[in-house]
Amino acid sequence: MSDEKKILTITADDEGIRLDVCLVRAYPELSRSQLKKMILAGNVKHFERTITDPAYRVKQEQTFTLMVPHSEQIDLVPENINFDIHYEDDDLIVIDKPAGLVVHPGAGTPNGTLVNGLLHHCGSSLSGIGGVKRPGIVHRLDKDTSGLIVVAKNDRSHRCLSLQFEKRSVERAYHALAWGSPKPLSGQIEGRIGRHPHKRKQMAVVSENRGKFALTRFRTLKRYGLRVFKAECRLATGRTHQIRVHLAHIGHPLVGDPIYSRTTAARLSGISESDIESIKTCRRQALHAVTLGFVHPRSRLQMNFSSKFPKDLRNLESIFERVKSSS
């Protein structure tokens, strides 16, 4: 199997930073030491020029190609995986991803992913820009975040959609259940997001000289007393775990989030044992991508899609509504 190709275009936010730092921000699944070795080995190119200096200062609109050697052989096998299709044509497919479904194969998840299901559904008609393990993948949702995702079926569509994400012109809204009661009820959260300084698998709001600029706008849709609220979050940027990190940063982590939240005794006070058990059995963050809007790569028409809050999160809403009414 050939190496995996990744293509990165430098934005204004990354102007002037080191190449290795820029790459680790873009691909948090790879460590800085791994990326440094790849740069030194000649695996990064700017057009035909090979860049071998990890400290190379990048410039806005430069495009780099990174070839990632395969550490393990992964043979992508088409699998009949169930997911809802909201729209499909010759250029793209819009899917309502269920919680628990990983988007693409990776370490520890060689199969059973959305990509495996797409290969079964679409055959060979997927863009190759995302590399061997990520055919057609333009953007991602976390494994346990549900909702709308668009996949490109050819390279032209992939480039067009990727450019819209880079220019932040894609409309994306999420609904979330979070602990507490925010003051004010709406606003924006601005804080640079990067790797947690001590917990490698976590992201965090970091200092000005680290991470990448991130902006989340939110408004409260409903309050369940002072215990929980439902929020609509809109992304001005698209950083790893952005909504989860930003809401936790202001003291309102998502209900059920296994990384950035804890279901403490104080949060569960006054709730029946059966309802507490139901809350704890929802083993995923209460976050759903409800709307997705973009310009179609071929027709140039604006396309807008919406998805209902899923059943498991509606069940949580019912519990918090019942607790609110009885208190």
Catalytic residue numbers read 142
List of residues 6+ apart from 320 with CB closer than 8 A: 177, 224, 225, 227, 228
For 79, 147, 282, 291, 296, the CA distances from 240, given in Å and listed in that order, are 27, 16, 22, 19, 25
Quote the tokens at residue 13.
């936010």
Sheet holding 44-46, edge to edge: 4-9, 63-68, 44-46, 49-50
Quote the tokens at residue 56.
């190379």
With beta carbons less than 8 A apart as the criterion, state whether 310 and 146 touch. Answer: yes
Quote the tokens at residue 322.
């019942």
Quote the tokens at residue 282.
């929802």
- Give the integer Cα–Cα distance in Å for 286 and 99: 10
- Give the integer Cα–Cα distance in Å for 83 and 38: 36
DSSP 125-194: -S-STT-SS-TTB-S---TT-EEEEEEESSHHHHHHHHHHHHTT-SEEEEEEEEES--SSSEEEEE--EE
- Give the integer Cα–Cα distance in Å for 99 and 166: 25
The secondary element (H helix, E strand) that includes residue 195 is strand 193-195
Which residue type, as a one-letter code, is found at position 69? P
For 180, 181, 184, 185, the CA distances from 250, given in Å and listed in that order, are 10, 11, 11, 12
